[in-house]
Amino acid sequence: MAGSFKLASSEVLRREVSLRNPFRIEMLPWLSRLHSAAFRPRRRLSKRFIGKPAKRLFRLLMGLGATATGHFSLALPDGPRRIGFNARNTQFGALYQPQSQPLYEAETSALLDLLVGDDDCFVDIGANWGWYSLLVASRPGFKGKIHAFEPFPSTFSDLIGGVRGAGLESMIRVS
């Protein structure tokens, strides 16, 4: 059988991958800075005097409806695009939280670059603001289609805003 292989139980397949991060924060708003300070991993004393008060303040401000807008750039084959984001959606923390650096969910992101072909159809269910959809769409050579689904209305707005901001409406269908 051409192309088939058999592994003994002790063998491991390995493939070298490189991490690609097309996202870069351009302007981090005050609400995102507070979110970062509140939820950064800390040691005991720092957690007590910085982390916990910052969490209380962040939750209070979110409850009061505080808003802020930040900007990130997305590197696309035809040049970078500046995209605004709503700091109330804490999932944008994938762009700026220390625990998400140098790349949010690095293993999954690298795996998508390996598995999704240039002409494939990628389906992003529970897309949130579109990290994976934008990651796949930004890959040089990708010419396929992406279907991004997000059921939560405010997050759906973030997803549409990101896709429009990137100018990828013809490649990414949002539902």
Domains in the chain, start-ordered, CATH in brackets?
A: 23-174 (3.40.50)
pLDDT digits (tens, 9 = 90+) for 20-45: 999 999 999 999 999 999 988 878 88
74 Cα distance to chain centroid: 11
CA 118 to chain centre: 20
Nearest to 162 by CA among 100, 95, 111, 108: 95
At 67 the pLDDT is: 95
Reported as half-sphere exposure (CB side, CA atoms, 13 A), residue 153 has a value of 0
Question: What integer is the mean pLDDT of 118-123?
Answer: 98
Give residues with Cβ within 8 angstroms of 38, minimum separation 6.
51, 54, 55, 57, 58
H/E element holding 57? helix 52-63
pLDDT above 70 coverage of the chain, percent: 95
> In whole angstroms, what is the distance from residue 163 CA to residue 147 CA?
11
Query: Is residue 88 scored above 80 in pLDDT?
Result: yes
pLDDT digits (tens, 9 = 90+) for 125-173: 999 999 999 999 999 999 999 999 999 999 999 999 999 999 999 999 9
